[in-house]
Amino acid sequence: MGLDATFQALADPTRRAMVERLTLGPASVSELARPFEMSLPAVVQHLAVLEASGLVASEKLGRVRTCRIEPAALSLAEHWFNQRRAEWEDRFDRLGDYLKKYPDGDPR
Amino acid sequence: MGLDATFQALADPTRRAMVERLTLGPASVSELARPFEMSLPAVVQHLAVLEASGLVASEKLGRVRTCRIEPAALSLAEHWFNQRRAEWEDRFDRLGDYLKKYPDGDPR
DNA sequence: CTGATACTTAGGTAATCACTTAAGTATGGA
DNA sequence: TCCATACTTAAGTGATTACCTAAGTATCAG
Protein backbone atom coordinates (compact mmCIF):
# COMPACT_ATOMS: atom_id res chain seq x y z
CA MET A 1 0.00 0.00 0.00
CA GLY A 2 2.31 2.70 -1.25
CA LEU A 3 3.07 4.44 -4.50
CA ASP A 4 5.30 1.57 -5.58
CA ALA A 5 2.49 -0.96 -5.39
CA THR A 6 -0.08 1.46 -6.77
CA PHE A 7 1.87 2.41 -9.89
CA GLN A 8 3.02 -1.17 -10.38
CA ALA A 9 -0.62 -2.26 -10.29
CA LEU A 10 -1.63 0.41 -12.79
CA ALA A 11 1.21 -0.44 -15.17
CA ASP A 12 -0.73 -3.40 -16.55
CA PRO A 13 -3.49 -2.77 -19.11
CA THR A 14 -5.65 -5.60 -17.81
CA ARG A 15 -5.50 -4.23 -14.29
CA ARG A 16 -6.16 -0.70 -15.51
CA ALA A 17 -9.20 -1.95 -17.40
CA MET A 18 -10.40 -3.63 -14.21
CA VAL A 19 -10.00 -0.40 -12.27
CA GLU A 20 -11.84 1.43 -15.03
CA ARG A 21 -14.65 -1.08 -14.81
CA LEU A 22 -14.78 -0.81 -11.03
CA THR A 23 -14.89 2.99 -11.00
CA LEU A 24 -18.29 2.51 -12.61
CA GLY A 25 -19.47 0.28 -9.78
CA PRO A 26 -18.82 -3.01 -7.95
CA ALA A 27 -18.52 -6.30 -9.82
CA SER A 28 -18.03 -9.97 -9.13
CA VAL A 29 -14.82 -11.79 -10.10
CA SER A 30 -16.41 -13.50 -13.08
CA GLU A 31 -18.01 -10.27 -14.20
CA LEU A 32 -14.58 -8.66 -14.08
CA ALA A 33 -13.06 -11.58 -15.94
CA ARG A 34 -15.63 -11.72 -18.72
CA PRO A 35 -14.07 -9.08 -21.04
CA PHE A 36 -10.67 -10.82 -21.04
CA GLU A 37 -9.43 -13.82 -22.89
CA MET A 38 -7.13 -15.03 -20.18
CA SER A 39 -7.87 -17.79 -17.70
CA LEU A 40 -9.80 -17.08 -14.52
CA PRO A 41 -6.80 -17.75 -12.24
CA ALA A 42 -4.87 -15.12 -14.21
CA VAL A 43 -7.62 -12.60 -13.59
CA VAL A 44 -7.69 -13.50 -9.91
CA GLN A 45 -3.95 -12.91 -9.73
CA HIS A 46 -4.39 -9.46 -11.24
CA LEU A 47 -7.09 -8.84 -8.70
CA ALA A 48 -4.71 -9.88 -5.92
CA VAL A 49 -2.18 -7.32 -7.16
CA LEU A 50 -4.87 -4.64 -7.14
CA GLU A 51 -5.96 -5.62 -3.64
CA ALA A 52 -2.38 -5.67 -2.37
CA SER A 53 -1.95 -2.13 -3.69
CA GLY A 54 -5.07 -1.02 -1.85
CA LEU A 55 -6.75 0.11 -5.07
CA VAL A 56 -9.42 -2.54 -4.84
CA ALA A 57 -11.21 -4.23 -1.96
CA SER A 58 -13.48 -7.25 -2.04
CA GLU A 59 -15.83 -9.31 0.09
CA LYS A 60 -17.17 -12.78 -0.37
CA LEU A 61 -20.83 -13.50 0.11
CA GLY A 62 -21.90 -17.04 -0.56
CA ARG A 63 -19.81 -18.15 -3.53
CA VAL A 64 -19.59 -14.68 -5.07
CA ARG A 65 -16.73 -12.30 -4.34
CA THR A 66 -17.72 -8.71 -4.98
CA CYS A 67 -15.01 -6.17 -5.79
CA ARG A 68 -15.04 -2.39 -5.57
CA ILE A 69 -12.45 0.36 -6.00
CA GLU A 70 -10.96 2.09 -3.03
CA PRO A 71 -10.97 5.72 -4.20
CA ALA A 72 -8.60 6.78 -1.41
CA ALA A 73 -5.76 4.76 -2.96
CA LEU A 74 -6.49 6.34 -6.32
CA SER A 75 -6.35 9.78 -4.72
CA LEU A 76 -2.99 9.04 -3.15
CA ALA A 77 -1.44 8.42 -6.55
CA GLU A 78 -3.24 11.40 -8.03
CA HIS A 79 -1.77 13.51 -5.28
CA TRP A 80 1.76 12.60 -6.35
CA PHE A 81 1.05 14.16 -9.76
CA ASN A 82 -0.42 17.25 -8.14
CA GLN A 83 2.79 17.71 -6.16
CA ARG A 84 4.91 17.30 -9.27
CA ARG A 85 2.79 19.81 -11.14
CA ALA A 86 3.03 22.26 -8.25
CA GLU A 87 6.82 21.99 -8.24
CA TRP A 88 7.00 22.30 -11.98
CA GLU A 89 4.82 25.42 -12.02
CA ASP A 90 6.64 26.92 -9.09
CA ARG A 91 9.86 26.50 -11.00
CA PHE A 92 8.58 28.66 -13.83
CA ASP A 93 7.27 31.27 -11.44
CA ARG A 94 10.77 31.61 -10.07
CA LEU A 95 12.22 31.79 -13.57
CA GLY A 96 9.65 34.45 -14.43
CA ASP A 97 10.58 36.45 -11.34
CA TYR A 98 14.22 36.16 -12.30
CA LEU A 99 13.62 37.41 -15.84
CA LYS A 100 11.53 40.29 -14.52
CA LYS A 101 14.34 41.22 -12.18
CA TYR A 102 17.07 40.97 -14.83
CA PRO A 103 15.35 41.67 -18.17
CA ASP A 104 18.67 42.09 -20.00
CA GLY A 105 20.14 38.69 -19.10
CA ASP A 106 22.74 37.70 -16.58
CA PRO A 107 23.30 39.97 -13.59
CA ARG A 108 26.81 41.13 -12.58
CA MET B 1 5.18 6.01 -24.58
CA GLY B 2 1.88 4.91 -23.16
CA LEU B 3 0.30 4.47 -19.78
CA ASP B 4 1.89 1.05 -19.40
CA ALA B 5 5.39 2.40 -19.71
CA THR B 6 4.62 5.52 -17.70
CA PHE B 7 3.17 3.73 -14.70
CA GLN B 8 5.82 1.03 -14.90
CA ALA B 9 8.47 3.76 -14.81
CA LEU B 10 6.84 5.44 -11.82
CA ALA B 11 6.49 2.17 -9.91
CA ASP B 12 10.14 2.31 -8.85
CA PRO B 13 11.13 4.62 -5.96
CA THR B 14 14.50 5.43 -7.49
CA ARG B 15 12.88 6.51 -10.72
CA ARG B 16 10.21 8.48 -8.89
CA ALA B 17 12.94 10.28 -6.96
CA MET B 18 14.65 11.10 -10.24
CA VAL B 19 11.45 12.53 -11.65
CA GLU B 20 10.99 14.53 -8.47
CA ARG B 21 14.50 15.88 -8.82
CA LEU B 22 13.94 16.77 -12.47
CA THR B 23 10.69 18.63 -11.85
CA LEU B 24 12.89 21.14 -10.04
CA GLY B 25 15.10 21.60 -13.09
CA PRO B 26 17.46 19.80 -15.49
CA ALA B 27 20.37 17.74 -14.21
CA SER B 28 23.30 15.74 -15.54
CA VAL B 29 23.47 11.96 -15.17
CA SER B 30 26.03 12.08 -12.38
CA GLU B 31 24.06 14.77 -10.59
CA LEU B 32 21.01 12.52 -10.77
CA ALA B 33 23.04 9.55 -9.58
CA ARG B 34 24.65 11.28 -6.60
CA PRO B 35 21.83 10.73 -4.06
CA PHE B 36 21.75 6.96 -4.69
CA GLU B 37 24.01 4.22 -3.48
CA MET B 38 23.70 2.08 -6.57
CA SER B 39 26.22 1.89 -9.39
CA LEU B 40 26.19 4.42 -12.20
CA PRO B 41 25.12 1.84 -14.83
CA ALA B 42 22.11 1.02 -12.65
CA VAL B 43 21.15 4.69 -12.57
CA VAL B 44 21.59 4.94 -16.32
CA GLN B 45 19.28 1.95 -16.78
CA HIS B 46 16.63 3.65 -14.67
CA LEU B 47 17.10 6.72 -16.81
CA ALA B 48 16.62 4.61 -19.93
CA VAL B 49 13.31 3.35 -18.54
CA LEU B 50 12.23 6.92 -17.87
CA GLU B 51 13.24 8.00 -21.37
CA ALA B 52 11.47 5.04 -22.96
CA SER B 53 8.31 6.05 -21.13
CA GLY B 54 8.61 9.59 -22.45
CA LEU B 55 8.72 11.06 -18.95
CA VAL B 56 12.29 12.24 -19.36
CA ALA B 57 14.32 13.51 -22.28
CA SER B 58 18.04 14.12 -22.49
CA GLU B 59 20.72 15.59 -24.70
CA LYS B 60 24.43 15.11 -24.68
CA LEU B 61 26.75 18.05 -24.93
CA GLY B 62 30.42 17.24 -24.75
CA ARG B 63 30.69 14.47 -22.21
CA VAL B 64 27.72 15.61 -20.15
CA ARG B 65 24.23 14.31 -20.73
CA THR B 66 21.61 16.72 -19.43
CA CYS B 67 18.19 15.36 -18.48
CA ARG B 68 14.87 17.12 -18.10
CA ILE B 69 11.29 16.03 -17.46
CA GLU B 70 8.78 15.96 -20.26
CA PRO B 71 5.70 17.41 -18.54
CA ALA B 72 3.40 16.24 -21.33
CA ALA B 73 3.98 12.60 -20.38
CA LEU B 74 3.28 13.42 -16.76
CA SER B 75 0.04 15.12 -17.79
CA LEU B 76 -1.03 12.07 -19.75
CA ALA B 77 -0.87 9.89 -16.65
CA GLU B 78 -2.49 12.58 -14.56
CA HIS B 79 -5.30 12.68 -17.07
CA TRP B 80 -6.03 9.01 -16.50
CA PHE B 81 -6.76 9.79 -12.86
CA ASN B 82 -8.95 12.71 -13.82
CA GLN B 83 -11.01 10.40 -16.02
CA ARG B 84 -11.34 7.85 -13.23
CA ARG B 85 -12.43 10.55 -10.82
CA ALA B 86 -14.99 11.84 -13.30
CA GLU B 87 -16.35 8.35 -13.81
CA TRP B 88 -16.43 7.72 -10.10
CA GLU B 89 -18.40 10.89 -9.60
CA ASP B 90 -21.15 9.98 -12.05
CA ARG B 91 -20.70 6.22 -12.02
CA PHE B 92 -24.41 5.49 -11.97
CA ASP B 93 -24.89 7.06 -15.38
CA ARG B 94 -21.88 5.40 -16.93
CA LEU B 95 -22.18 1.81 -15.75
CA GLY B 96 -24.92 1.21 -18.30
CA ASP B 97 -22.81 2.70 -21.08
CA TYR B 98 -19.87 0.45 -20.28
CA LEU B 99 -21.97 -2.68 -20.26
CA LYS B 100 -23.51 -1.64 -23.55
CA LYS B 101 -20.04 -1.02 -25.01
CA TYR B 102 -18.48 -4.31 -23.82
CA PRO B 103 -21.32 -6.81 -23.63
CA ASP B 104 -18.86 -9.62 -24.22
CA GLY B 105 -15.68 -8.13 -25.64
CA ASP B 106 -12.26 -6.83 -24.68
CA PRO B 107 -12.00 -3.30 -23.24
CA ARG B 108 -8.31 -2.78 -24.08
C1' DC C 1 50.29 13.55 -24.48
C1' DT C 2 48.30 12.15 -19.90
C1' DG C 3 45.13 11.64 -16.69
C1' DA C 4 40.69 12.49 -14.88
C1' DT C 5 35.87 12.84 -15.73
C1' DA C 6 31.46 11.41 -17.63
C1' DC C 7 29.27 8.35 -19.23
C1' DT C 8 28.52 3.70 -22.21
C1' DT C 9 28.52 -1.20 -23.35
C1' DA C 10 28.53 -5.95 -22.32
C1' DG C 11 27.43 -9.74 -19.80
C1' DG C 12 25.82 -12.16 -15.73
C1' DT C 13 22.44 -13.33 -11.86
C1' DA C 14 18.67 -13.75 -8.61
C1' DA C 15 14.01 -12.36 -8.13
C1' DT C 16 9.59 -11.19 -9.80
C1' DC C 17 5.91 -11.30 -13.40
C1' DA C 18 2.18 -12.76 -16.26
C1' DC C 19 0.48 -16.14 -17.60
C1' DT C 20 -0.76 -21.44 -18.07
C1' DT C 21 -3.13 -26.17 -16.82
C1' DA C 22 -4.96 -29.26 -13.52
C1' DA C 23 -7.28 -30.19 -9.63
C1' DG C 24 -9.60 -28.66 -5.44
C1' DT C 25 -13.43 -26.43 -2.29
C1' DA C 26 -17.70 -24.30 -1.23
C1' DT C 27 -22.38 -22.85 -2.35
C1' DG C 28 -26.92 -22.87 -4.27
C1' DG C 29 -30.59 -24.71 -7.14
C1' DA C 30 -33.67 -28.57 -9.00
C1' DT D 1 -28.58 -35.74 -3.61
C1' DC D 2 -26.53 -34.32 -7.78
C1' DC D 3 -24.75 -30.96 -10.65
C1' DA D 4 -23.39 -26.51 -12.09
C1' DT D 5 -21.44 -22.27 -10.62
C1' DA D 6 -17.94 -19.44 -8.58
C1' DC D 7 -14.08 -19.21 -7.29
C1' DT D 8 -9.36 -21.15 -5.08
C1' DT D 9 -4.92 -23.55 -4.74
C1' DA D 10 -0.84 -25.44 -6.56
C1' DA D 11 2.77 -25.88 -9.51
C1' DG D 12 5.28 -24.83 -13.64
C1' DT D 13 7.33 -21.75 -17.48
C1' DG D 14 9.32 -18.18 -20.24
C1' DA D 15 10.08 -13.22 -20.06
C1' DT D 16 11.37 -9.15 -17.75
C1' DT D 17 13.53 -6.55 -13.89
C1' DA D 18 16.91 -4.51 -11.03
C1' DC D 19 20.81 -4.76 -9.93
C1' DC D 20 26.09 -5.98 -10.31
C1' DT D 21 31.25 -5.88 -12.16
C1' DA D 22 34.48 -5.14 -15.67
C1' DA D 23 35.97 -2.90 -19.44
C1' DG D 24 35.17 0.39 -23.07
C1' DT D 25 34.86 5.32 -25.45
C1' DA D 26 34.85 10.23 -25.64
C1' DT D 27 35.88 14.79 -23.96
C1' DC D 28 38.26 18.30 -21.49
C1' DA D 29 42.03 20.31 -18.51
C1' DG D 30 46.82 20.89 -17.77
pLDDT digits (tens, 9 = 90+) for B6-34: 999 999 999 999 999 999 999 999 999 99
Determine the pLDDT at residue B91: 75
Q: Look at A71 and B88 and tell me if their CB atoms are within 8 Å.
A: yes
Contact of B108 with A14, CB cutoff 8 Å = yes
Determine the pLDDT at residue A104: 40
Which nucleotide C1' is nearest A61 CA? C27
Give B98's contacts in chain A (Cβ within 8 Å): 21, 24
**Nearest residue, CB atoms, B4 vs list A13, A24, A25:** A13
Instruction: List, for residues A85-107, the tens digit of each pLDDT value.
Output: 999 988 876 655 544 544 443 33
Q: Within an 8 Å CB–CB cutoff, is residue A36 touching chain B? A: yes
- Phi, psi angle pair for A34, to nearest 5°: -45, -45
**Nearest residue, CB atoms, B98 vs list A8, A24, A80:** A24
How close does chain B come to A45, measured CA to CA in Å?
A: 18
How close does chain A come to B33, measured CA to CA in Å?
A: 20
pLDDT at residue A108 above 50?
no
Average confidence score pLDDT of chain A: 89
The DSSP secondary-structure symbol of B104 reads S
Instruction: List, for residues B48-101, the tens digit of each pLDDT value.
Output: 999 999 999 999 999 999 999 999 999 999 999 999 999 988 776 655 565 555
Determine the pLDDT at residue A103: 45
Angle formed at CA A105 by CA A103 and CA A106, multiple of 5 degrees: 125
Determine the pLDDT at residue A12: 98
Strands of A56-61's sheet in order across: A27-28, A64-69, A56-61
Percent of chain A with pLDDT over 90: 80
